Chain A
Amino acid sequence: GDSVTQMEGPVTLSEEAFLTINCTYTATGYPSLFWYVQYPGEGLQLLLKATKADDKGSNKGFEATYRKETTSFHLEKGSVQVSDSAVYFCALRGGSGNTGKLIFGQGTTLQVKP
């Protein structure tokens, strides 16, 4: 079945450092890909998404490009801030059948130190 694999955390960075969180997926068909962010004590929020190959999603300085050839959707940010500290989830939807069901990775905790 469809699945998502993220790099294990926690990831600890200093403020203004470059961030990459790796995400790869396995799916049949043509899934849509997402990054969600969860701040402490809150629910998940959509950060960005891409619906077809070579699309780039971007929001709040974060970017991710849908790479079908490498089945990847890595999250990047050029300069992280303390306020970016959160758990980041990669997810896919609709590899086959497009049921609306989201498949999540295990989440990667990011801690940014001042």
Chain B
Amino acid sequence: DAGVIQSPRHEVTEMGQEVTLRCKPISGHDYLFWYRQTMMRGLELLIYFNNNVPIDDSGMPEDRFSAKMPNASFSTLKIQPSEPRDSAVYFCASSLYRGETQYFGPGTRLLVL
């Protein structure tokens, strides 16, 4: 199995630009999670989906952030407009069931100038 796939691995953009991060979960996994990792705040859950439906988006920082999961094999996290404080590593993870181990992707390192 290829594991969780994220793209791009690195993204550098200017403030005000739209950023789209992509994730392909492990085939057959019903749960998908988006996390953000920063030095100041550590690892934070932004949102998670079950069977493509958003279950808990209480961690999404503000309206500039949105996430979608149009099908079982693809999810996006969009930031519009981006700000320098959005600079972080964004991880996607998936799990087979609610209580099962979460498998993390390699992350997208985002730098907003």
Supposing A99-B55, A101-B56 touch, asked if A42 and B99 sit within 8 A by C-beta, the answer is no
The residue on A at minimum CB distance from B89 is A43
- In this complex, the interface size class of chain B, counting residues with CB under 8 Å from chain A, is 20 to 34
Contact pick for B107, options A36, A43, A45, A100, CB 8 Å: A43
Encode contact with A along B70-113: 1 for CB under 8 Å, 0 otherwise: 00000000000000000000010101001101111111000000
Encode contact with B along A62-89: 1 for CB under 8 Å, 0 otherwise: 0000000000000000000000000001
Contact pick for A44, options B48, B56, B95, B104, CB 8 Å: B104
The number of residues on chain A lying at the interface, defined by a beta carbon within 8 Å of a beta carbon of chain B, is 21
Q: Are A100 and B98 in contact (CB under 8 A)?
A: yes
Q: Are B55 and A104 in contact (CB under 8 A)?
A: no
Task: Answer whether residue A32 sits at the interface, using C-beta atoms and an 8 A cutoff.
Answer: yes
Task: Answer whether residue A107 sits at the interface, using C-beta atoms and an 8 A cutoff.
Answer: yes
Contact pick for B99, options A32, A105, A107, CB 8 Å: A32
> Other CB < 8 Å A-B pairs besides A44-B91, A44-B93, A46-B101, 18 of them?
A41-B106, A42-B106, A43-B104, A43-B106, A44-B43, A44-B104, A49-B101, A89-B43, A98-B98, A99-B56, A100-B50, A100-B95, A101-B56, A102-B45, A102-B102, A104-B42, A104-B43, A107-B43
5 A-B pairs with least C-beta separation: A43-B104, A100-B98, A104-B43, A44-B104, A106-B42
